[in-house]
Amino acid sequence: MRILSGIQPSGKLHIGNYFGAMRQHLALQAENEGFYFIADYHAMTSNPAPADLAARTLEVAMDYLALGLDAEKTVFWRQSDVPEVTELTWILSCVTPLGLLQRCTSYKDKVAQGLSPNHGLFAYPVLQAADILIFDSNLVPVGADQKQHIEVTRDIAIKFNAQYGQTFVLPDEQILKSVAVVPGVDGRKMSKSYNNTIEIFEPESSVKKKVMRIVTDSTPLEEPKDPETCSIFALLRLAAGADELADWEAKYRAGGVGYGTVKKRAAELLCEYFRPYRQKRQELEQNRDYVEQVLTDGARRARAVASETLRRVRDAVGLGVMRHAQSR
């Protein structure tokens, strides 16, 4: 089964990105045909500085490779290295009803968060549809908040197929298994937009300092505490083994444990969890030519598939028909 997923290089990846999506992407590559890309076109909707966009794209590539992406088995590329996607985006735009895009909640949400209401942000679902359809993707693992975009992709594909004949594979979404919300250092959900993240590969000393600053309530040490509502316990859920987690839960409910003690252990567990990947990440930092070569090779493999799909599309809509006729 062909699995497709993309991630935006909108900032340094944090542990919320990892436990929420990346870990599951990496697990899926073992038994499937993985097509994973760095969505630098999508990142442009927020108008990043050129140097930042280029640097963040390479950093995301290094992060994925360090965490276990198999570049031999999985096709891994930079979105902008496959120009067929942008041509397909225009063709799909010409069959996409305006009302379909107007109903997409993500545009309104992003504008409400302060992003400029530009056309790229509004038409984002069409580019996302092109990403998916051009690779004949069978399954797209997404968070629950992206489910609507997969539905839009299917609607666009169905409309195109009805108008021009069977051309596109209809993808299915796989809603990623939810994990406990990863708390940021301010107690809210970890998010780059809140500036409250713990980066995957930031120095361990910094990780420990950030965990110790996480906001907690004022329940006295001797009082029982609710593990279900505690930000620190949410971190324990991510990195602790089942037996240790059960032990901490019992301590919470019995009382007599302070948040400072739990924070220290949560920080230790997070550092231990990512430590095996840290050396690989440092090696990649010193071998950026290799990382670029991985992306170049991935783009070549991705374009081989994309160009074949685009040929079907161009033939279906009548683009290049006269050229084909004159060549005969």
pLDDT number for residue 146: 78
Instruction: Please choose, from the candidates 142, 132, 101, 127, the residue with its C-alpha nearest in 3D space to the C-alpha of residue 43.
Output: 127
Sign of the dihedral through C-alpha 180, 68, 272, 241: positive
Distance from chain centroid for Cα 45:
16
Q: What is the DSSP string of 56-114?
A: HHHHHHHHHHHTT--TTTSEEEEGGG-THHHHHHHHHHTTS-HHHHHT-HHHHHHHHTT
Instruction: Spot the catalytic one: 12, 159, 189, 264.
Output: 189
H-helix or E-strand containing 207? helix 204-212
Query: Is 2-180+287-327 CATH 3.40.50.620?
Result: yes
Tokens matching residue 324:
């084909």
Catalytic residue flag (residue 209):
no
Give every CB contact of residue 182 below 8 A, 6+ residues apart in sequence: 15, 16, 19, 20, 189, 190, 234, 235, 238
How distant, in Å, are the alpha carbons of 45, 88, 164, 165 from that of 313? 26, 8, 9, 10
Distance from chain centroid for Cα 167:
27
pLDDT number for residue 241: 95
Q: Give the HSE-up count for residue 327: Cα atoms under 13 Å, Cβ half-sphere.
A: 5
Instruction: Spot the catalytic one: 12, 108, 147, 192.
Output: 192
Measured distance CA(89)–CA(44) in Å, rounded: 15
Instruction: Spot the catalytic one: 110, 210, 225, 263.
Output: 110
Catalytic residue flag (residue 192):
yes
Measured distance CA(13)–CA(62) in Å, rounded: 11
pLDDT number for residue 20: 87
Q: Residue 2's beta-bridge partner residues?
A: 33
- Please report how the helices 259-285 and 288-317 are oriented relative to each other, as an axis angle in degrees rounded to 10: 80
Measured distance CA(308)–CA(293) in Å, rounded: 23
- Which 8-state DSSP code applies to residue 169? P
Instruction: State the Cα angle at 62 between 191 and 45, rounded to 5°.
Output: 45
pLDDT number for residue 178: 59
Query: For every one of its 328 residues, what pLDDT tens digit does the chain have, with 9 covering 90 and above?
Result: 999 999 999 889 999 999 988 999 999 998 999 999 999 999 999 899 999 999 999 999 999 999 999 999 999 999 999 999 999 999 999 999 999 999 988 888 888 888 888 999 999 999 999 999 999 999 999 877 778 889 999 999 999 999 999 999 999 988 776 565 788 999 888 988 889 999 999 999 999 999 999 988 889 999 999 999 999 999 999 999 999 999 999 999 999 999 999 999 999 999 999 999 999 999 999 999 999 999 999 999 999 999 999 999 999 999 976 454 444 4
In a 3-state reduction of DSSP, which class is residue 51?
A: helix
Boundaries of every domain in the chain: 2-180+287-327, 201-283
Give every CB contact of residue 214 below 8 A, 6+ residues apart in sequence: 183, 184, 185, 186, 187, 231, 232, 235, 263
Measured distance CA(81)–CA(57) in Å, rounded: 12
Superfamily of domain 201-283: Tyrosyl-Transfer RNA Synthetase (1.10.240.10)
> Can you list the positions of beta strands (E) in 114-228?
139-142, 172-175
Measured distance CA(45)–CA(110) in Å, rounded: 10
8 Å CB contact between 138 and 2: yes
